[in-house]
Every structure is written in structure tokens, then in C-alpha cells.
Homo-oligomer: A and B are copies of this chain.
Amino acid sequence: MGRVGLIEDAVILAEGRLSVFGAKTASCILRYANEAVVAVLDSTNAGKTAEAVLGFGGAVPIVASVKDSLKYKPKQLVIGIAPIGGGLPPEYREIVKEAIESRLSVVSGLHYMLNDDEELYDLAQKHSVKLLDVRRPPDELTVSKDEARFLPVFRCLTVGSDCSVGKMVVSWEVAKALRKKNINAQFCATGQTGMMLSGWGICVDRVISDFVAGAAESLVKKVSDADIAMIEGQGTIYHPAYSGVTLSLLHGSCPNIMILCHHLGRTHIKQYDVSIPPLKKIVYDYEYVSAYTHPAKVVGIGLNTVDSDEETARKACIELERELNLPVTDCVRFGPEPLADAVFKEFKQWKSVWKK
């Protein structure tokens, strides 16, 4: 029983989809906030533990239904998937209703706003539970004033070769590693899972397109008295649907440096017929488009090797390090230290100039 960020004594809904890429939100919560999770709902894996299915998440039990979860005294149902388009899968609707009827609050990061769904809203009112739509942007957003680049906080943005390659994980892990060095490093959440974990942020992909850079700017402003802002990246500049979100976030947060994240072995944008270029070109392209408003260099690579064996993963890191002349690590498998060191080195240099 416990609480981390927005998550408290939660059942994580991942019905039929519990895997690292199939239920991104569920996985990250189980990785970083499993003390706040009482159960996972996935009837296809019922009876196992999170650890047994995912390789992490500890002894959190997997149950087949809301009813089966009640013995663990949950307070919340958290929707643990992040599907393309952000709709509520039809087969999840009945589960959400059952949770509300069982007096669980519902935490959702979908584009589909539970509070705008009359049936669910009325049901929640009736049972006195809350529906928390994490993706709902704050009302007061407006356009960027291009001020992030003048703030006294060192900014590191994670960027990617595609969606769901591990940008949130790298930002989170590097921030944690920097804090261990007694650096005040703050994680800036720009997506639903990051917000659930950290308890604040803005889901920039839900923001009116004119205001996305402004939203990113406002996040960086909120941590402007920290040493380092680790900003969670979104999408990729190569994505046929989301490239604009990526560019707005890049130009709005005005990073000093970037960490490029990639899923080892992925050759095409997930669910689209668009190839992913070689990493050398990706590094070049991010540095090139950053410089449209403010120069930023890529200082390291976060390689997601989750579906490779350890030898393949280690070899890939070494080969990429040689090829790109940059530190490369899988933060989860081999630890974030090489990236944290690279960020810290750049921060020190920047600070020595900034203070003058």
C-alpha cells in the first residue's frame, strides 16, 4: 500500500496487452511505482505476478477482473495502455464501469476524456468517485514567447527515432542518477505516464497545436531554479502523424543538449510504412532542426535492448559508441551512469560560462 505521484493503491488495467510495448503505461508504473500498485488486471495472465510476465514489477499479483482485485483493497483503476489515437478500447468500457461501481477512482491518460463521457461521468457521480483525465491540458496555456533559452536551468531533452522507444525511462533514470550526485535534477513530464509517476506536467500531445511550444516553455519555467531539467521527449521528427509535436517540444523547451533514444533492431516507425534512418543521420537531423531556433548537441544514446539477449545488447552498445563517438547505454539493463556523466560534464561547462 502506498502512493507515488498520482498513483495510489492502484489496479493497473492492461487486459490482454501486458507487455513492455503493448502496455507502456502499465510497464512504467510497475517499474517505477510498484509500491503504489496492488494488482494488475489482465485475465490472460491471471494468477502470475508482474515479475513473472515482465521481468520486473515484483510480486504484484495479476488478476482476471475488478472483482478479483477487491481483496487487495484498491483505491484506483489506472488505465495502463497508450494506444495510437488514444481511444478507449470497447472491451475496456465494461471494466471501467465495474471499477466505478466498485468505488474505485479511475486514472486515464487516453485522449478519450472519461469526464466527457456522459454514462461514465454520471456513474462516477453516483458512486462518489473521481475520474482523472491526466491528458486534459490546463486552461491557461498560450503561445511560446521563446524564453526557455534564457532560463538559468540547464536543459536536457530526450529525443527519439520513434514513439515508445524509452524516452520517458531515460529522462527519469538520468534525473535519478544526477540526484545521486547531489545535483538538483528535475524530471519534466510531457506525457501521461510521466505525469502519473511525477504527479505534475503537461501531456503536450493533447495541447492545441499553436500552444505546444508554449506548454513546453511553461514546464521549463516551473523548474527554472533547479540545476538541470530532464525533459521527457515525445514522438520523433520522422513520424508521419506526430512529427509536429516533437518539433514544438524541441523548439519550446530549447534544450542545451539532447539524448537520443532508440529501440535496438527497430527499422520502421511503429505501425507506419516509414523507415527509421541510421542513427548517425538522426543525430545530425536533431542537431540541425534544433539550430533553427537554438543550438543543441546530442551527448549520448539511450538504447532500449529489452528484446535482445545480454550479449547482443552489450555488443550493440560498444559498436554504437565507436560509430558515433558518444556514450551509449541501456539505462534499465546497464544503468544510466554513462549518460548522467555526459549530462553532468556539459552542465558544468555551461554553468562556468553562464555564471560569468
Q: How far is the CA of A146 from the CA of B142 in the complex (A)?
A: 29
- The reply to whether the CB of A270 lies closer than 8 angstroms to some CB of chain B is no
Interface residues of A (CB under 8 A from B): 84-87, 111, 142-146, 204-210, 212-214, 237-249, 251-252, 272-274, 285, 288-289, 292-293
Which residues of the other chain, B, contact A209 by a CB distance below 8 angstroms?
204-209, 212, 244-245, 248
* Contacting pair B238 A292 (CB below 8 A): yes
In the bound complex, CA of A204 to CA of B209 (Å): 8
Question: Which residues of B are found within 8 Å of A249, using beta-carbon distances?
Answer: 244
Q: Which residues of B contact A210 (CB under 8 A)?
A: 86, 111, 205-206, 241-242, 245
Assuming the contacts A206-B209, A238-B292, asked whether A248 and B243 have C-beta atoms less than 8 A apart, the reply is: yes
| 10 more A-B residue pairs beyond the given contacts A205-B210, A209-B244, A289-B289, with a C-beta to C-beta distance below 8 A | A87-B142, A206-B210, A207-B208, A213-B240, A213-B244, A243-B247, A243-B248, A243-B251, A244-B244, A274-B292
Question: Which of chain B's residues have a CB closer than 8 A to the CB of A86?
Answer: 210
A244 / chain B contacts, CB cutoff of 8 Å: 209, 212-213, 243-249, 251
Q: List 12 A-B contacts (CB under 8 A).
A: A85-B142, A146-B240, A146-B241, A207-B209, A209-B209, A210-B242, A238-B292, A238-B293, A239-B251, A243-B248, A243-B292, A244-B244
Q: How far is the CA of A349 from the CA of B214 in the complex (A)?
A: 42
**Residue pair A143, B85 in contact (C-beta under 8 Å):** yes
A111 to B84: give the CA distance in the assembly, Å: 27
A252 partner residues in chain B, CB cutoff 8 A:
240-241
Structural contact, B248 and A144, CB atoms closer than 8 A? no
Q: How far is the CA of A245 from the CA of B252 in the complex (A)?
A: 12
